[in-house]
A and B are shown apart, each in its own frame.
Chain A
Amino acid sequence: MLSYIARRLLGLVPTLLAATALVFLMIHLAPGGPVEYLFGPYASYEDIAHAEQALGLDRPLTEQYIRYVGRMIRGDLGKSIRTGRPVLQVLVRRLPYTGQVVVMSMLFSALAAFPVGLLAAIKNRSRFDSVTMIGVLVGVSMPSFWLALMLILVFSVSLAILPLYGMPLVTQDFKGGLAAALLPAVSMGAYQTAVLCRTIRGEMIEVLSQGYIRLARGFGVSGWKIYLKYALKNVLIPVTTLLGLQVRYGFGAAAVIETIFAIPGIGQYLVMGILSRDYPVVQGTLLMFALLFSAVNLIVDVTYTVLDPRIKW
């Protein structure tokens, strides 16, 4: 197990190198390159040449890339062009905010999807099942940012029971943090809740049709014991994969959700970087995302072994 984790951690190195190369190439091969990216299309030749020299952009691409990776290993992701702050420092400070919303959205999805999905499977082809499936379709088709707007409209504007903008960390203000994270978490998690619900239902229906369940029934084991003790275990494995995916999706939705709720997380930082053409910020944030996804993938794979003793590494 430990050697498996070590091997996987080692495997992260090429993945992250590939990700840096991808981000680096995307920015340097984009029309105009980073300097035009900085100055816009109307900069003079002298300005561009001067800036290219100052930033080392006149060197060959491979040399620039090696330097860039070298700086990155030392924890230097560059400085924001707009504010002059070191990107890494800002990212580290912003990460907990994104983390808080993403964790809340996972909790919400799991809490909502498990009971509904399981019940829909147990009462397969009932009215409850049909309503659930329609709900799933609507959930999959609803853009998260629109759901966010609708939730704000109902809970923050009409009823005025939840805060409209901003979010403290739970470590600073526990109640306030939870209340403020509720709407962002629900809007971020709705899509995944729907997908999760559909998967749980589908897997459960399949598991329930298998021989060992019928055997248990034949032995007179009560319904709930079958569902929760024997069937649920085999549903958990595909669901773990999905929860892993959900974290990825949550980080992806973070950009737009954090912007709506004015949450100072890394998603909002990426959007600000894009809108102000601040390429060190864009570069650094995308790398941070790549690191996070790789970490999540690793955690998901390790969780398998805990859930399913048949999987050995």
Chain B
Amino acid sequence: MHSPGRLSGKITQVYRSRSLRRLRADPASRVGLGIIVLLIVTTTVVIIDKQFLRRALITRLWGDPYMADLRSSLESPSLAHPFGTDHLGRDTLARVIYGTQTSVLVGLASVAISLPLGTVFGMLSAYLGGTFDEIVMRIMDVFLTPPANILALGLVGILGRGLENIILGIGIVYTPIFARLMRGSALKIKRMEFVEAATAIGESQLNIIFRELLPNCLTPLVIQATFSIALAIMWEAGMSFLGLGVMPPASSWGLMLHEGQQYLREAWWLSIFPGVAIMLTTLGFNLVGNGLRDALDPKYQAVQP
């Protein structure tokens, strides 16, 4: 028998395509989208160069981002080294480019952990209600009490340093935020007529959850996820700056700033360019986040953890 599912589907589709058109027309969002595309392209090229070409491409262009060459240490920006070189004579531009993958990885992975987890917890809480809801939400509240950046820092401090633990730490901190959001919108949607209609015509519970509730709850989650990527990138930089992130010679913008701080007097370029990279990256995600909010849900207030 033909399943009647997705009573709400048609409306959602029309609404989405119109919103995306609005997003593409907004100049600020275009800049943001441009930055994100650039980040993704850079990351892809870096991964190919690193895994298959043994850094040949980047070495050819500006210099090896990992190998030290003490003859050219702390050179100021020039044509050969547009962003100068660091204390070990490595090209700063090459290291900034290689640092992109660290930031993008942390931003995407931490949200990739927390978004599904939070969605599941939030959806089940809203749908089942009762004791389950009570217990899950009390646990989430405990995680939401301290400011998220201190909690993430504490988690990494306890789990130990390293990129995986930073991703895990930020992922854990983000989960309750997504869970609360999901629960909130699911509770609201649950009371709407089309859900009632779906129940009345005998749709299965799974169908109601996945085909009626979930697609209609995604808007705030998508907006929050965009802002969360920006924040995760900023936190990773902060923790790497404190020496808790990737180990040298791997490259991360935060770690570069940490190394650059010791040469603040002699080599200003070491402290400027990685910071600009962090700022542009977060700016890109924030611009797209703003655009998404304006296009999809102007009343939505991003959760500031």
A contacts, CB < 8 Å to B: 15, 18-19, 21-23, 26-27, 30-31, 37, 137-138, 140-146, 149-150, 152-153, 157, 195, 245, 248-249, 251-253, 255-256, 259-260, 270-271, 273-275, 279, 282, 286, 289-290, 293-294
User: Whose C-beta in chain A lies nearest to the C-beta of B143?
Assistant: A22
| B238 sits at the interface (CB 8 A) | yes
Question: Beyond A146-B257, A290-B146, is A137–B234 a contact (Cβ under 8 Å)?
Answer: no
Whether the Cβ atoms of A145 and B257 lie closer than 8 Å is: yes
Contacts of B150 in A (CB 8 A): 251-252, 255, 270, 286, 289
Whether the Cβ atoms of B264 and A255 lie closer than 8 Å is: no
Whether the Cβ atoms of B279 and A30 lie closer than 8 Å is: no
- Binary interface encoding of chain B residues 259-280 relative to chain A, with 1 for a CB under 8 A from any of its CBs, else 0: 0110011001001100100111
Whether the Cβ atoms of B261 and A149 lie closer than 8 Å is: yes
B158 interface neighbour in A146, A251, A260, A282, Cβ under 8 Å: A282
| B206 sits at the interface (CB 8 A) | no
Specify the main secondary structure of chain B where it touches its partner.
helix
B257 interface neighbour in A142, A149, A279, Cβ under 8 Å: A149
Measured CB to CB, the closest approach of chain A to B269, in angstroms, equals: 11
26 interchain pairs, CB-CB under 8 A? A18-B145, A26-B154, A26-B155, A31-B160, A137-B287, A142-B282, A143-B275, A143-B278, A143-B279, A146-B279, A149-B264, A152-B264, A153-B272, A157-B264, A245-B304, A249-B149, A251-B150, A253-B149, A270-B154, A273-B157, A274-B157, A274-B242, A282-B154, A286-B154, A289-B147, A290-B145
| B46 sits at the interface (CB 8 A) | no
| B244 sits at the interface (CB 8 A) | yes
User: Whose C-beta in chain B lies nearest to the C-beta of A195?
Assistant: B304
Whether the Cβ atoms of B156 and A274 lie closer than 8 Å is: yes
Contacts of A248 in B (CB 8 A): 146-147
Contacts of B272 in A (CB 8 A): 150, 153
| B214 sits at the interface (CB 8 A) | no
| B153 sits at the interface (CB 8 A) | yes
- Binary interface encoding of chain B residues 236-256 relative to chain A, with 1 for a CB under 8 A from any of its CBs, else 0: 011001111000000000000
For the complex with contacts A21-B142, A146-B257, 20 further pairs of A-B residues with Cβ separation under 8 Å are A18-B142, A137-B283, A137-B290, A141-B279, A141-B286, A149-B260, A149-B261, A149-B271, A150-B271, A150-B275, A249-B304, A255-B150, A256-B241, A270-B157, A273-B157, A274-B154, A274-B157, A275-B243, A275-B244, A286-B154
Measured CB to CB, the closest approach of chain B to A5, in angstroms, equals: 19
| B159 sits at the interface (CB 8 A) | yes
Whether the Cβ atoms of B275 and A146 lie closer than 8 Å is: yes
Alpha-carbon distance between A272 and B153 when the two chains are bound, in angstroms: 12
Question: Beyond A26-B155, A141-B279, A143-B237, is A293–B146 a contact (Cβ under 8 Å)?
Answer: yes
Question: Beyond A138-B283, A143-B234, A157-B265, is A19–B145 a contact (Cβ under 8 Å)?
Answer: yes
Measured CB to CB, the closest approach of chain B to A160, in angstroms, equals: 11
User: Whose C-beta in chain B lies nearest to the C-beta of A140?
Assistant: B286
Contacts of B158 in A (CB 8 A): 26-27, 30, 37, 279, 282
Contacts of A275 in B (CB 8 A): 242-244
Whether the Cβ atoms of B147 and A259 lie closer than 8 Å is: no
| B186 sits at the interface (CB 8 A) | no
| B106 sits at the interface (CB 8 A) | no
Whether the Cβ atoms of B242 and A251 lie closer than 8 Å is: no
Whether the Cβ atoms of B261 and A260 lie closer than 8 Å is: yes
